[in-house]
A = this chain, B = another copy of it.
Amino acid sequence: MRYFSKVVEAGSFTQAGKAFNVSPSSLSRRVADLEKSLGATLLKRSTRIVKLTEVGQIYYNDVQHILNQIEQSEETVRSYQTTPMGRLRISSMVSFGDIVLLPLLDEFSALYPEIVLDVSLSDELSTLGRDDVDIAIRGGYAPNERVLAIKLMDNSFIPVASPRYLETHGVPENAMALKQHAGLYFKTPTGPTPWLCNKNGQWHDVSGPAVAISNNGAWLAKKACEGEGILMSTRWALASYLELGQLQELKFEHEVAITQSSTMAVYLLYQKQRYFVPKVKAAVDFLVERLQTTNAR
C-alpha cells in the first residue's frame, strides 16, 4: 500500500523507487501483486505516464486514510512510551493513604494530568505480587527478586497521650508503668499491636488494659485526644496532633515498640523492570522526592 501510494504521488515507478531505495522492477511487481489480489486494475500505465483508474482513485483515497491511521497509531504507542500517561494503579496502606498519600497525589495529578490515578487503599498485602498494581506502599516489604523496595520513611510506633489524660492519670515514669494505663490499640491485619519494651536486651509486654481496639487510626487518635487512654501509633500518623499539642509524645529510658523487629519502615514497592514505563518512573520519582527528603532517612 505504501508502494502504491508513492507511485501515485510520484506519477512514476522510477521516482517512487528512489524514495524507498528500491528498484523500479520491485515496485512494479508489488503493485501488480496488489492489483491481482484486489482483482482490479488500479493504475493505467503507459511507458511515459502512470495515472489512476477510476477504482484506483477510490482505492487511493482509502489507502491514504489507512496509512494515516497506521502512522497515527504508531505515534500514539511511541508517545505513550515517552510521555507519562495512562492508568497508574497505586496500592497503599489505608492510614498512610489517608494521611500522607492522597493529599500528595492531588499535586501529582496537577503535574501529570494525562495520568489517571487508580488508588486502592488496603492493609492486605495480597494485592502486590500480581501484576494488578504498578506501585505499592507497605510497612515492610516482601523480599522478591523482581520487586524493588525504597524506604520512604520511618514507621516505628511512638506512645502518645493527651495533656488532659496525663494530668488526670499522671505521666508514666517509665515504660513498665504503661501497664497501669488505659490502652488504645491499633489493629493490623496480623492482629492488635501490644506494647513492648526492650529492657537490657529483654522484651517485656507492657500493654495496659484495653479501652478500644481498631484498625482505624483516626478514630483511635480522636479517643486519645479526648483523654481516653494512651495510644501507640506512627509518628507520621500523629504529626498533626503533636503539632497542635492535642497529643504529646511519651519518652522513656527504654525503647518502646509494637514489634521486636526493629526495622519498621514504610516502603515504596514497584517492579524493577516497570521503572522504565514513564508513568511509573514519574510516580516513583515524585513520591521518593516528596516523602524521602522531607520526613525520612
Contacts and interface: CB of A to CB of B under 8 A. Distances in A.
Nearest to A276: B58
A250 B76 CA distance: 56
A127 to B, nearest CB: 17
Interface in A62-98: 62-63, 65-66, 69-70, 72-74, 76-78, 80-81, 86-87
Given A65-B69, A66-B70, A66-B73, A78 B273 contact: no
- Of A58, A74, A273, most B-chain CB atoms within 10 Å: A58
A131 B39 contact: no
A38 interface: yes
A78 B44 contact: no
A54 interface: yes
Number of copies: 2
Contacts of A62: 69, 72-73, 76, 273
B69 A55 contact: no
A291 to B, nearest CB: 25
A211 B218 CA distance: 53
A81 B39 contact: yes
A77 B273 contact: no
A61 interface: yes
A40 interface: yes
A273 to B, nearest CB: 6
A241 interface: no
A108 interface: no
Contacts of A38: 74, 77-78
Nearest to A78: B39
A59 interface: yes
A58 B85 CA distance: 12
A179 to B, nearest CB: 47
B63 A66 contact: no
B40 A86 contact: no
A61 B131 contact: no
Interface in A28-61: 38-40, 42, 44, 54-55, 58-59, 61
Given A40-B81, A55-B81, A59-B77, 16 more contacts: A38-B74, A38-B77, A39-B77, A40-B77, A58-B77, A58-B276, A59-B73, A61-B273, A62-B69, A62-B72, A63-B73, A65-B146, A66-B66, A66-B70, A66-B73, A69-B69
Interface of A: 38-40, 42, 44, 54-55, 58-59, 61-63, 65-66, 69-70, 72-74, 76-78, 80-81, 86-87, 131, 146, 273, 276
20 contacts: A38-B74, A38-B77, A38-B78, A39-B77, A39-B78, A39-B81, A40-B77, A40-B78, A42-B77, A44-B131, A55-B77, A55-B80, A55-B81, A55-B86, A58-B77, A61-B273, A62-B69, A62-B273, A65-B69, A66-B66
